[in-house]
Amino acid sequence: MKQAQVLVEVTRGALVENYHRGHVAVVNSEGKLLYSAGDPYHRTYWRSSAKPFQALPVVESGAVDHYRITARELALFCASHNGEAMHTETVLEIFKKIGQDHSLLQCGMHMPYHKETAQSMSEAGEKPTSLHSNCSGKHSGMLALATQRGFDTSNYLDLEHPVQQLILDYIAYFTKYPREQIAIGIDGCGVPVHGLPIYNMSLAYARLVNPQGMEEDRASACRRVTAAMMEHPEMVGGTDRFCTDLMRVSRGQLVGKAGAAGVYCVGIPAQGIGITVKCEDGASRGRDPVVVEILQQLGYLDQEQVKALEKHHRPQNINHRKEKCGEVIPVVRLHQDA
């Protein structure tokens, strides 16, 4: 098993003060490992980077068409959103369409990621609701599927629930990883999360963006999910969020989705390639710069695009006096495997 590699250095003055280590796997849709860093077979949870695959059965089942879910709403099924008004209002709209009450949401609650929204809520003495949970879009997708198929909507989080079992089928299909070997944990929002090698996560993204050879309903569902994310990146994250900025800047050239605990996945449709980054310490401070750096090194982002993503690529270490103390520098070096 290969060791985690240093992916990012965080400087202060003349010293490197912190290091972020991890693993990278770049895989094409035929399963060829093209590039790696650290251990491309490192096993971890997919977390929210699995969201496009949790949305796919909602499309392929016909629920999205049945309820006239728009591409913008579909993008929210795949989101770890900011809890801005555009997100919470869209979740409410989805519940109206599926004829259910949003009190069915069991995702728990936390203050919006979006600082200004959180601040104005605090100032108004407002408490967060489940609508503000970054996962409320994903949960509304699960509930759309459960409602359309007539499944119990009260226990849709349980691993045994048909919605979660269907999702497990899709994950095994796209990752080509044995269903029974997928480790199961509980996510921040209560649904099952899926533990598997990052190689297989990359393979799944490669297949998602290049669904050639799949039966047409599935291939079409893939195209709808990725198109929705790329056309409505503001729904996938929100103001100032990396996923949103990355997909905006790359204008339809890639799909990117963050997961918690240091995971990030990218799919490049033109090349049929999937990329997974895992920072072993779980720090998003390390993760986002590495993603931009790899996309630049592999030629999937040009200089102008990288410049537009500078605050995500080379964040500055600014102190409480607004002085620059240091920098976050991605130092990842990819090994060419094939």
Judged by beta carbon, residue 3 or residue 217, the one nearer a copy of itself is 3
Region 110-169 residues binding a copy of itself, contact defined as CB under 8 A: 110, 119, 122-123, 125, 133
SS3 71: helix
Residues 6+ apart with CB under 8 A from 1: 39, 41, 42
Stretch 67-86: interaction string toward a copy of itself, x if CB under 8 A: --------------------
Two tokens, residue 95: 């519940």
Task: Please report, as a single letter, which amino acid is at residue 11.
Answer: T
Question: 111 Cβ partners below 8 Å, 6+ apart?
Answer: 83, 118, 121, 122, 128, 132
Round to whole Å and give the CA distance between 56 and 92: 21
Q: Distance between CA atoms of 278 and 38, rounded to whole angstroms? A: 10
User: How far apart are the C-alpha atoms of 259 and 22, rounded to whole Å?
Assistant: 14
Distance CA 298, CA 28 (A): 13
**Which one of residues 108, 231, 298, 306 is an interface residue with a copy of itself (CB under 8 A)?**
108
State which of residues 89, 115, 184, 333 lies at the interface with a copy of itself (CB under 8 A): 184
Q: For the chain, report the end-to-end CA distance as a whole number of angstroms.
A: 19
Closer to a copy of itself by CB, 14 or 215: give it. 14
Q: How far apart (Å, rounded) are the C-alpha atoms in residues 310 and 307? A: 5
18 scored as a contact of a copy of itself (CB under 8 A): yes
Q: Is 338 in the site for a copy of itself (CB under 8 A)?
A: no
Place of tokens 């919605």: 163
CA nearest neighbour of 327 among 102, 10, 86:
10
The number of residues making up the chain comes to: 338
CA distance 55 to 225: 7
Q: How far is the CB of 185 from a copy of itself (least distance, A)?
A: 3
315 binds a copy of itself (CB under 8 A): no
Report the C-alpha gap between 214 and 60 in whole angstroms.
Answer: 13
Part in contact with a copy of itself (CB under 8 A); list of ranges 67-75, 188-196, 241-249, 296-304: 188-196
The interface with a copy of itself within residues 279-308 (CB under 8 A) comprises 280-283, 286
For the chain, the farthest-separated pair of C-alpha atoms sits apart, in whole angstroms, at 62
Q: How far is the CB of 283 from a copy of itself (least distance, A)?
A: 6
Backbone angles phi, psi at 16, to 5 degrees: -85, 120
Stretch that binds a copy of itself, among 42-50, 56-64, 163-171, 198-206 (CB under 8 A): 42-50
Whether 316 contacts 10, CB under 8 Å: no
Interaction of residue 186 with a copy of itself, rule CB under 8 A:
yes
Structure tokens at 200: 């297989």
Q: Which C-beta is closer to a copy of itself: that of 122 or that of 165?
A: 122
Binding segment for a copy of itself (CB under 8 A), chosen from 31-39, 54-62, 69-77, 190-198, is 190-198
Of the pair 164, 226, the CB lying nearest a copy of itself is at 164
Shortest Cβ 87–a copy of itself spacing (Å): 16
Site size toward a copy of itself, by CB under 8 A: 48
Q: Which stretch binds a copy of itself (CB under 8 A): 164-172, 180-188, 212-220, 233-241?
A: 180-188
Of the residues 24, 26, 43, 114, which one makes contact with a copy of itself according to CB under 8 A: 43
Q: Which residues within the stretch 246-265 sit at the binding site for a copy of itself (CB under 8 A)?
A: 261-262
Minimum distance from CB of 74 to a copy of itself (Å)? Answer: 24
Which residues contact a copy of itself (rule: CB under 8 A)? 4, 10, 12-15, 17-21, 43-45, 106-110, 119, 122-123, 125, 133, 183-190, 193, 195, 261-262, 280-283, 286, 319-323, 325-326
